[in-house]
Chains A and B, each alone.
Chain A
């Protein structure tokens, strides 16, 4: 979507908002008495002008969008594509509906209530012309509902600014003041609705803090939010300062409202830019800060007491400061206490921050697939084992001769995000004196290869913990895999989402008392039956062996129970079966989808 599309979209939406806000204003904000001429001006001059601009810009937008959809690069091509887009695409249908409603409004302008309702309906089509309408499902419905509220609130507020500007200039002073006061609740309600629905949209599309700080969508959202804050500041200035001066001179108020209109148009343009961009949740964020927030301190017994004390001290300090400001009698004592508590508590909050890298919030594209883990295992042997040792304990024969001992890769991996591990492998480590502790592999390994190594490190860590302690300390996801079923379908992990299932390594399904879908991982051949699908790729077998900490040869007969959210929950070795009570409990209580914490698993 080019600059022309964005500009036309912005003008169209702004004119539509102006129409909606003007009609509302004329009908409900103008106070009674001596304002008939003003109402006439709004309903019969400003509204038709807004309507005309909305129709023209809307039609032009439909033409440029048609050209873009059909990849037409000249005017003839665009007009050739126009009927196709108008009649046979969702965007076209909704746009034709909107333009039809707008034409219907022209004869209705003398019947203000109906005109407001029809304009509102035409404006409420907005989400169907953007991201929200394309999502579908219950999340799509949620986005559509919040965007309808968002655009109507924006129209009521920003569209009322031009009428307010005219009213302040033309009405007698007393009436102008009353009009301004009448507009305050409209503006206030609109601001609350706008902010609330913006949070909903940002939560769904923004990609969180990494998306906000690290993607161009997020930067556009930040620009829009800043403009919105500027708009709020001007509105507050009008309400609390200029309204009192209005009785003497309307000029300051008019300049301020004109500024508000300009800022409002800039906000609408930035909304058009956002609508044209890939949402932040789909862009890979480049994290701009050298640290990020982490809850590791709560999980680490050595640091837990420190971070809780720091949080308690800081909270108490803030409480004391508020008490000091509120009660004059205790002011000096409370402020001194606040200063001491904050001085002690705030620096220790560093425990909540860990180093971060530009790649920290990258999402791995591998889906933690069995094929990726297996590829990573092969790469580990050729690229990593010479220093880190065959099992990653940092104990290779060469390790002793290195200036800095290679890291034990079975420690601390869990507290790093996938994107952190990616950075370590790609860029290596340099000692403070500049010597290379570990070389970066970005020049020699492909992006995919580095992600495979990250997946292998995670899987290997899980397996090592299982081998040593008999349990997984962190939730471990089932790797993505394909399996063939009796009805000829190929299924993968996504098809099994929502139901617990059992993986059995071997050529025969082991009978079980509890009822769960069974997928058989085999090396030889096995035929799928009604309850059994077969995963025949050797990588699945290999990846499962790594995850349970067994050698591939020792795997036959092993069973793994996977819960409804795809987490590995219980293992039984050859010949044993998973306890029925435990299995029932796991089937009834899957771990939450985000149980792994912020590791960045794209799962």
Chain B
């Protein structure tokens, strides 16, 4: 009977969806190799973001931090933008810490390469 009850429960469950701010996509894309250095970093999250309590860091392959301005919000408030200086060839790591409007903090990182 336990199994039958579970069966009923499974059939009644619709598909889940999103909440909490995770990286949905990035430009330059996660793991990408670029022929031209990018001028801007754009991170799109799954939730609306508080720019005041969100940071984006860029680290070069030798671990040095590339100085960036304060990230700002795009018209779509799930998107953080930050302008980039001219990047030399090499591998870069983007480290993001964001606070979503429900006050929860999430963080993550990804890499891209300039050829």
Contact = CB atoms under 8 A, between A and B. Distances in A.
A279 B18 CA distance: 9
Given A131-B19, A133-B101, A69 B29 contact: no
Interface string B88-111: 000000000001111111000000
Contact of A282 (B4, B19, B52, B99): B19
Given A1-B104, A130-B102, A133-B101, A90 B50 contact: yes
Given A209-B10, A293-B7, A293-B10, A281 B18 contact: yes
Contacts of B3: 349, 353
B63 interface: no
Contacts of A68: 103
Contact of A490 (B13, B32, B102): B32
Nearest to A207: B16
Nearest to B97: A71
A326 to B, nearest CB: 21
Interface in A480-517: 482, 490, 492, 494
Contact of B47 (A1, A135, A349, A594): A135
Residue of A68, A134, A293 with most chain B CB atoms under a 10 A cut-off: A134
Nearest to A130: B102
B29 A134 contact: no
Contact of B102 (A134, A204, A208, A209): A134
Contact of B19 (A84, A205, A346): A205
A129 B102 contact: yes
B15 interface: yes
A594 B15 CA distance: 9
A88 B19 contact: no
Interface string A274-291: 010011111000000000
Given A89-B52, A490-B27, A134 B100 contact: yes
* Interface class of chain B by DSSP: loop
B9 interface: yes
Contact of A134 (B17, B27, B47): B47
A206 interface: yes
A179 interface: no
Contact of B48 (A70, A90, A139, A207): A90
B6 interface: yes
B29 A139 contact: no
B25 interface: yes
B72 interface: no
A91 B102 contact: yes
A320 B78 CA distance: 56
Contacts of B103: 1, 65, 68-69, 89, 91
A490 B35 CA distance: 12
Given A131-B102, A204-B16, A490-B32, A349 B22 contact: no
Interface residues of A, number: 44
B20 A282 contact: yes
B52 A208 contact: no
A132 B19 CA distance: 8
Contacts of B29: 482, 490, 492
A211 interface: yes
B19 A281 contact: yes
Contacts of B78: 136
Contact of B101 (A84, A134, A206, A207): A134
B90 to A, nearest CB: 19
Contacts of B37: none
B25 A492 contact: yes
A234 to B, nearest CB: 24
A131 B21 CA distance: 10
Interface in A202-257: 203-209, 211
Contacts of B22: 282
B13 to A, nearest CB: 4
Contacts of A65: 103
A88 B51 CA distance: 10
Contact of B14 (A203, A278, A280): A203
A88 B54 CA distance: 13
A455 B21 CA distance: 26
A371 interface: yes
A591 interface: no
A131 B14 CA distance: 19
B31 interface: yes
A284 B29 CA distance: 24
Interface string A560-599: 0000000000000000000000000000000000100000
Residue of B7, B32, B103 with most chain A CB atoms under a 10 A cut-off: B103
A84 B103 CA distance: 13
Interface in B46-80: 47-48, 50, 52-53, 77-78
Contacts of A344: none
B12 to A, nearest CB: 8
B114 to A, nearest CB: 14
A349 B2 CA distance: 12
B19 A134 contact: yes
Interface string A1-38: 10000000000000000000000000000000000000
A344 to B, nearest CB: 15
Contacts of B102: 91, 129-131, 133-134, 275
Contact of A89 (B6, B18, B32, B50): B50
Contacts of A1: 103-104
Contacts of B6: 209, 293
Given A279-B20, A293-B10, A349-B4, 6 more contacts: A1-B104, A134-B19, A134-B48, A205-B19, A208-B14, A208-B15
27 contacts: A1-B104, A65-B103, A68-B103, A69-B53, A69-B99, A84-B52, A90-B50, A91-B50, A129-B102, A133-B48, A134-B20, A134-B21, A134-B100, A135-B17, A136-B47, A139-B17, A204-B19, A208-B13, A209-B10, A281-B17, A281-B18, A282-B19, A293-B10, A352-B7, A371-B31, A482-B29, A482-B32
Interface of A: 1, 65, 68-70, 84, 88-91, 129-136, 139, 203-209, 211, 275, 278-282, 293, 346, 349, 352-353, 371, 482, 490, 492, 494, 594
